[in-house]
Structure 1
Amino acid sequence: MMDRIVRFAGCLRRPGWVVICCAMVWAGTARADYRDSIAVLRIGMVETHVAATDPVKLEAIQLAFANALGIPVEIIKLGSYAALIDAHASGRVGYAIHSARSFAATQAACGCVRAFRIPVAADGSTGFRSVLVARDSVTVPVADLKVGYSDESSVSGWQIPHQAITAGSLDLPKLVRGGSVSAVIESYQAGEIDGFFGWLPDIPGDGGAGLERLFGGWNRTALESAEPLRIIWSSQRIPYGPHAANRSLPDDLVEALGAFLDKMATSAPGLLDIFEPAHSGGYVIPGPEEYQNIRGLVEAMPDRQSASSVP
């Protein structure tokens, strides 16, 4: 991946790159008039994004978007998702890379943003489901289970299950805080807990991810070495964090942005490696109600969250 990034960054400095980038843009861009009304496009990105701390990567992103769109582009680094929410809601940035929760919070704050693309993971998933899994041999009611979770900042491991418990759709088990996913898995292997909260990728058209993809397949060997698991409870689908635009941006600019993202995986894979380090499968267009399921989580928004963390 790094070789591809270096080659990509280098080609941005060659005169011919402008022609290549322009060829990638949606065919209607040449006729679009957003360039007459938008002096500069400001892209909001949390500073924990992999590219945010690397000047070469930031320059690569800015140049690629500027060349493709035909207008100046500036990346605005924000110290937290809370700061990103404020910047996007106030219009200080026109386009932002959100987590699912920060997008829902921005929409709740102002109703002024729209999701126009969702990243796709390498396995084809466009979201995830929070799940409660327990030892296959344990048959006691959920309320009697000793259930591990990582910590209170985890969306899949605490906040979504907690919301379900509060709503009455999931019984309250005996909760055991592990502090990390690794610690939870170790507790399960040692027989100290009956099960735990985790997440499974959600792939469109799939009948449901198997338990071999628990935590996206991470630490699979450790899980397979312990007693078999079964799913006790599953949440609704939670989409991955979207690329979103302020509603004040012209429609033709948002269409051009979407088209550029759509072609990135095949036409500029080096840029995709930089821009979307956690998802390498390209992008899809979200449905109109895609993020309704997580509106109840916005009150629990922490000041800081890793842009590349697992759900």
Structure 2
Amino acid sequence: MALSKSLPSGQVPMLCQMCEESSEIRWKCLLCDFLLCTKCQKLHKKVKSTDQHTIIDIKDIGTYQQEVSNPPDINNAPCSVHNGQNCCLFCQTCEEVICPLCILHAHKTHKMIGLAEGYKSTLKAVKDFHTEVEENILQTVKGLSKLGLRETYKKSKYESERQTILDRERVLKNEVEKHTQNILTEFDHQRDFFKKSVQDEQNRSKNIKKDLEIRRESLGHTLSQNKAYEVFSLFKQERALRAVGKQEVKQAITKFKGLPKYVPGKQPFLETQHGELIELKDENEQDTFEFQVLQKFKTKLPIVDDAVWCEDATLWISYFFLKRYRRYN
């Protein structure tokens, strides 16, 4: 309101005829006869029901009107086959402009129309070609977008699957280390048992050896004295020992239960113990998405034909007969 008061009468800035908010008018839709701001111009082009409308910069309105009022000179189109001849008709059969000589030599029986009508149909075909190219570009862009999404998804999937493989590797390593530790513990236990058995037998044999050495010294001393009394006495002692079996010397035990031998598993490492890579029957089955309703809006429109979501988080909707768009934040 302050802006309108500061301007002289008759100079109130015109608002965009679509959003009725912005005064920065830069575009015009020739079919709707709407003056548009840049934001609404982009929105207008996105809507399917208006994607064939001609929208031009307001600076080019004069040039466009001049082109409309001054159509191209189709009567002086030179023939591409016969030099010096101008085309006079349009051959619908061959879909090309022709001169009088062309008619005589190759197009006598063909269906022909005037140049103006032929130009009109050709111009429409060229515009259709342009629309087709635009549609192909749009489809290509959509394809690139899908490829980007697939690449992002596959990258995430790769990292996830790779981490799963590494996690499985850690589990197997832990299991192998645990089993190895159990084997080593049992092996150490049997080694200690063997070591103790040998040590006990060594101690017993040393005691026997010590007793035998004492008896040998006693017998040797008696024999060296050459005394009959001591010989009879020692003989009596030795005979008594033999009578009760104490003179019997048990030989040292040299055979023990040996240490076990480690035998590596003969069965090769199986894929079932770690896992394997499998090809999915339908690679796209993982790329399915499920949409959820996050927010609902109420509108008085009987039907919503078009809906466009903008980068500024606004939603524009329209009904065909309304010829205007409504914004929802």
TM-score, normalised via structure 2 length: 0.18
Structure with greater strand percent: 1
Could you say which structure has the larger radius of gyration?
2
Identify which of structures 1 and 2 has the higher relative contact order when contacts are C-alpha pairs closer than 8 Å and 6+ apart.
1
TM-score, normalised via structure 1 length: 0.19
